[in-house]
Chains A and B, each alone.
Chain A
C-alpha cells in the first residue's frame, strides 16, 4: 500500500506585525527560492551576478526521522540564491561553519551540502526525506573533501599523514612501467571500490555528484553526472555553487519544490546524520 500521507505544500507567509505609525517597514522575508533568469551561469561564488538574485534563508531542521538520526541541531540555516538560463540552473549555498573539514579518515568527516528536487513535478511531492518508492528525487551533492582533491590534494598516504612511510606497494614494482596499462590495472586491484567503478573512490575531477533516491537508504549515482560545482571558504563558513540542468517540466509545474541539506564534518555529520530543510516553494518563472 502506498503511504497515506502526502506532502501537500502550504506556503506560510510570515509577516511581521509592526506597530502603527512605524515609518520603515522591512521587506517581508522571502517565502520561496526564486531563480533569476540570466544569459549565463556564474561559476564562482563571489561573482557579482549573484547580487541580482534574491536571498532566501532556509531554516535547517534535524534529520530525525530514520536511524541513524541526528540528535543535536548544528547548522541553523543556509542562505540560497538561484540563477537560471534556459537550460541550466545554479544555486549558491552559503552557511556558517567555523571549521574547514575536508579530510576524511577513520574518525574525521567532511563538510558537505546538497540540493534535492523531485524527478517529476506532480500535484503531490515525494516525501521530503530522500523521496519515496515510485517518487524519485534528484540530488546534487557537494563534498569539501572532493573539493580538496580537485584542487590538488594527492592520492598518497603522505597527503593525509605527511610523516608516514611506506616501504612498497605491489603496483610500484620495478618490473611495472609507471603509468602503463599493466601498472594501472595492478593498482586498481588494490583499490576494490575503484575497481568496481564506485564514484566515491575517484579518480576525481569534480567535487559534485548527481544522485537519485527513492527513500531513505536508497541513494544511488544518477545515470549521468553532468552537474558542476565548486566551494570556497568564506570568512565565516562555506559558499558553494552547484549547477545542474534545468529540471524537465519545472517551468510549467504548478508549484515546484526544492530542499537543501548541510553536513558539518566537525560534528561527525555524514549520510543520514544531517541538517535539512522541508520542501520549499521554488519559483523558476521568468522574473520581471
Chain B
C-alpha cells in the first residue's frame, strides 16, 4: 500500500497505488434540494447506455429516498456497519477508511451484493423518517423527513473499484479522471462490485464482465454535459472540472461551490475515495444524519445555502444549473445577469439572476374570456 493525500479527510491515507492525479478531474455538483425524484435522469441513462441483454437490472444512475431508500439493498448501511466508528475531529477524519480497514487477504473493505439485493429498484420510495403521530401538524424543521439522493459513479480520485481489480482492468483516464472498466480486459471476477462502496459497478451476467457509469465520455469529450445532467427536470446538476483546494479557481463553478463557498460536499468522504460528485445537502434533514453522510461540513453548507436569496453570487450560479447542454468551465455575474462561459471566457449562455414574473389577470377583458392555468 502507498501513502496518498486525501483533501476531503484532510490527511494522508493508505491506498493500493501511489498518488497519481489526472491532469483534469471530472466533477459534478448535485443540489439535493431541487430534486423531485422524477427519475428522468435514471431513464436518460438507461435508454442511452443500458438497454442491452444482461443490463436489465443496471441503474448507473438511480435516485433513492433517504433515509430508507437504497439500490442495491442497504448499500450504505452494510458498509457503515462493517466500517465501525467513523470519528471526525474538526475537519479531519480520525477513523479508518475502507482501504485502511481492509481485512487480511483483501485489498479493500467491502461486500458484494447478490441478485436479490437488486430486486427492488426503488425500495423505500417516499418513506419518511419517524411516524406521523396524532395531532402532527406542519412544523419547521420537519419532524418527519425524507430527501432524494441521486447517485451516479463518483469517478473517485482513489477508486476502490480500480484498487480491487487484481488484473488492472479498471483505469482512470489521465485527461479527465473518468473511471472506466476495460471491456476487453475484464474477466468478471467481481472484485470491483465488492470493493466499490457506492455499489456503482454492475456485473453483466450475459457478457461475464462488469460495467459502470462512463460519465457519458463521448459527450464530455465534446464539452457536453452528460445525459442524466441534460435531462434533469429539476436542473439540479452541473458538470465540470474540480481543482485541488489550494488551486481553487473562483471562476470555475465547481471550485466555487465546493472550495470557495463549501456549500457542496462529497458523499461519505470517510470511506476515503475522494469521490467527485458533490452534494448540496437537503436543508430539512437532521444534522446528525447529514454529518454522517456528507461529513462535518454539512451544517455550515446548509447555513450558506439558506442565505442564497440574499447572496447574488451563490443564487446566480445555482440558477445557471441546467441552462445549457455545454459544459461551462467558467462563470461570472454581471449585476443581475449570470454568464456561463468556456475556459477562455467565450460566452456560452446568460441567464437572469431572477426570472421575471408576469401576472396575468384571471379575466381577459379584450377577448371577454376567463383564463385557465394551463398553456
Contact = CB atoms under 8 A, between A and B. Distances in A.
Interface of A: 64, 66-71, 103-109, 145, 155-157, 160-161, 164, 166, 169-171, 187, 189-198, 200-202, 216-219, 268, 270-272
Given A108-B115, A197-B184, A271-B166, 6 more contacts: A71-B105, A106-B113, A169-B51, A192-B209, A198-B186, A198-B207
A68 B106 contact: yes
Contact of B209 (A103, A193, A197, A217): A193
Interface string B181-223: 0011111111101000000001111111101000000000000
Interface stretch (B52-60, B246-254, B295-303): B52-60
Contacts of A71: 104-105
Given A106-B193, A106-B205, A200 B188 contact: yes
Interface of B: 51-57, 104-107, 112-118, 164, 166-168, 183-191, 193, 202-209, 211
B187 A200 contact: yes
16 contacts: A106-B202, A106-B203, A107-B116, A108-B114, A157-B53, A191-B52, A191-B204, A191-B206, A193-B186, A195-B183, A200-B207, A200-B208, A270-B189, A270-B190, A271-B167, A272-B166
B51 A191 contact: no
Contacts of A218: 167
A219 B55 contact: no
Contacts of B53: 155-157, 169, 187, 190-191
User: What is the predominant secondary structure among interface residues of chain B facing chain A?
Assistant: loop
A193 B52 contact: no
A217 B167 contact: yes
A156 B183 CA distance: 20
Given A155-B206, A198-B207, A67 B187 contact: no
A49 to B, nearest CB: 33
B211 A219 contact: no
Contacts of A108: 114-115
B355 to A, nearest CB: 38
Contact of B191 (A68, A187, A193): A68
Nearest to A268: B112
Contacts of A69: 104-106
Contacts of B206: 155, 157, 160, 191, 201-202
A106 B73 CA distance: 13
Nearest to B114: A107
A67 B186 CA distance: 17
A11 B211 CA distance: 46
A194 B185 CA distance: 11
Given A104-B188, A192-B183, A193-B183, A169 B207 contact: no
B54, B107, B202, B207: most-surrounded residue (chain A CB, <10 A): B207
A195 to B, nearest CB: 8
Nearest to A156: B53
A158 to B, nearest CB: 10
B14 to A, nearest CB: 13
